[in-house]
Structure 1
Amino acid sequence: MPGRVETSRATAAVERPVALVTGATRGIGRAIAIDLARTHRVIVGGRDPETVGALVTELGDAAPFAVDLADEAHVAAAVAGLADGAGADGIDVLVHSAGVIGPIAPVAASDRAEFRRILELNVVAVADLTARLLPALRARRGLVVAINSGAGHNAGPRSSVYAASKFALRAVTDSLRAEEAPNGVRVTSIHPGRVGTDMQRELRAAEGGEHEHERYLEPDSVAATVRVAVDLPPSASVHSLSVRPFG
């Protein structure tokens, strides 16, 4: 993982594009935030204020967005405070990296409360936050990036809850892309295979298997795919991109 991003006073004084990354304090989201900090002022999204603050300090030219995405009132208050807290009157990039896996179980053992919890975090929270930030994204003709999954295309056994949320997330991004194209907002859906993160360890433990790090993507590889979408000229757009471990 790259180390501290050094930002000189001269660089910080120059207005830089703004990127808000949810789930930025660990795994894929952290890799994305660190990579984007090379060129953007990053708004660090996360649930724990302490870990959010630590990454803000590490990045230098950054601002906190410590919020529980499942709490509608908390999200509304945090978005309302963005202009003052981050000094941003627009957002150039919004990356949805926060998400949860949920139970690894067959449909026959489905739990209604768990279905609701996973859909709330992986789908409803994404749609809600995006809707609240659309005026800021339209102001900069910005980009929305959703970190989806291979499960957003194919559902295997015992993955109904997670896959359902990722299929639904793909539907949200497909609709958003069509709706916001006239407003200049681009929408990209990234579909990684298995990534070597703490979440992957939790998944393999639930599956009863070993964590085989060498067979997984590195978080930096997913961050690189986000960078492709971010660096395209405004006349081009990545609609959907799948990335898998090689070999």
Structure 2
Amino acid sequence: MSRPIVLVTGGTRGIGAAICDALAPDHHLVIGGRDRAAVESACERYESAQPFVCDVADGDAMEQAVADLGLDRLDGLVHSAGVSGGWRTEESNRQVWRNILEINVIAVSELTRLTLEALRAAEGTIVTINSGSGLRASGAGGHYPASKFALTALTDVLREELRPDGIRVCSVHPGRVNTEMQRDLVASEHRTYDPLEFLRPESVATAVRTALTATPDATYETISIRPGPAATNRRS
């Protein structure tokens, strides 16, 4: 395989799909998702791609899926799968907390662990799709920002742990992005949805590609992406 190999979780929709589009011209994609039909359909769109079908919240299934890939090298790992949550503290329970932490934090750590040997072989790059909420918490509901703050800490630790192995680790913190998840969030806030108020998934994908293709002398450790003047002025 002459192309760099990159595994993208959540690669069938939203930011993950935009990342796959941005990398497809010159990368081999390993596209992750829970829905086999959606993953296989995504793979068909690209010249060089293969499926990675599993629920990242299922540890046994993820371990088997990684083993089935049989990769001896992995040039990039993009953690784009994630869930949101806007429940107020008084409305939440232990299961709500467990679900969001399992997907947004624990699955990231576990998939990284399972692919480390392949990443070491390629001196690859890990990118976590975080959030502005991983830098500053606001609004109702602590579940999502708590998970993203935890992801920030995990990414910071991984960066230092893996630096001696030649593995680069980047944390990408977008503002609100025009995705289905965002539509659901705006609906829960009882507001009218205007896609032009938000970042495009393609804008985030550009940042991810930049981190993955950085020259060997450079590491993009943290990238914060906020809506530009056009989106900001539209909200005012």
- The yes-or-no answer on 1:227 pairing with 2:214 is no
Q: Which of 200, 218, 223 in structure 2 is aligned with 1:236?
A: 218
Q: CA deviation at 1:208?
A: 1.5
| Gaps in structure 1 of 5+ consecutive residues | 1-13
SS at match of 1:65: strand
Residues 69-98 of structure 1 deviation map (CA, whole Å, 9 limit, x = unaligned): 011110010011111xxxx31000000000
Q: How does 1:79-118 map to 2 (within 5 A)?
A: 79-83=66-70, 88-102=71-85, 104-118=86-100
Letter in 1 for 2:81: A
Equivalent position of 1:174 in the other structure: 156
Equivalent position of 1:60 in the other structure: 47
Letter in 1 for 2:198: Y
Contact map agreement 1:42 1:61 (CA 8 A) in 2: yes
Q: How does 1:183-222 map to 2 (within 5 A)?
A: 183-222=165-204
- The yes-or-no answer on 1:141 pairing with 2:152 is no
Contact map agreement 1:123 1:165 (CA 8 A) in 2: yes
Q: Which of 145, 151, 165 in structure 2 is aligned with 1:163?
A: 145
Residues 117-164 of structure 1 deviation map (CA, whole Å, 9 limit, x = unaligned): 000000000100001101100000000000000000111121310000
Residues 1-45 of structure 1 deviation map (CA, whole Å, 9 limit, x = unaligned): xxxxxxxxxxxxx62110000000000000001111111100010
Q: CA–CA distance in 2 between the matches of 1:184 and 1:229?
A: 14
Equivalent position of 1:38 in the other structure: 25
Contact map agreement 1:106 1:159 (CA 8 A) in 2: yes
Residues 161-196 of structure 1 deviation map (CA, whole Å, 9 limit, x = unaligned): 000000000011000000000000000000000000
Q: CA–CA distance in 2 between the matches of 1:160 and 1:16?
A: 41
Letter in 1 for 2:64: A
RMSD: 0.9
Q: CA deviation at 1:206?
A: 1.3
TM-score normalised to structure 2 length:
0.95
Q: CA–CA distance in 1 between the matches of 2:165 and 2:215?
A: 16
Which moves more between the two structures, 175-184 or 202-211? 202-211
Equivalent position of 1:15 in the other structure: 2
SS at match of 2:160: helix
Q: CA–CA distance in 2 between the matches of 1:244 and 1:140?
A: 32
Equivalent position of 2:232 in the other structure: none
SS at match of 1:188: strand
SS at match of 1:158: coil
Contact map agreement 1:196 1:218 (CA 8 A) in 2: yes
Query: Identity over the aligned pairs, expressed in percent?
Result: 48
Letter in 2 for 1:95: V
SS at match of 2:45: helix
Q: CA–CA distance in 2 between the matches of 1:198 and 1:132?
A: 29
Aligned length: 229
Q: CA deviation at 1:245?
A: 1.0
| Gaps in structure 2 of 5+ consecutive residues | 230-236
Letter in 1 for 2:83: V
Equivalent position of 1:49 in the other structure: 36
SS at match of 1:94: strand
SS at match of 1:81: helix
Q: CA deviation at 1:205?
A: 1.0
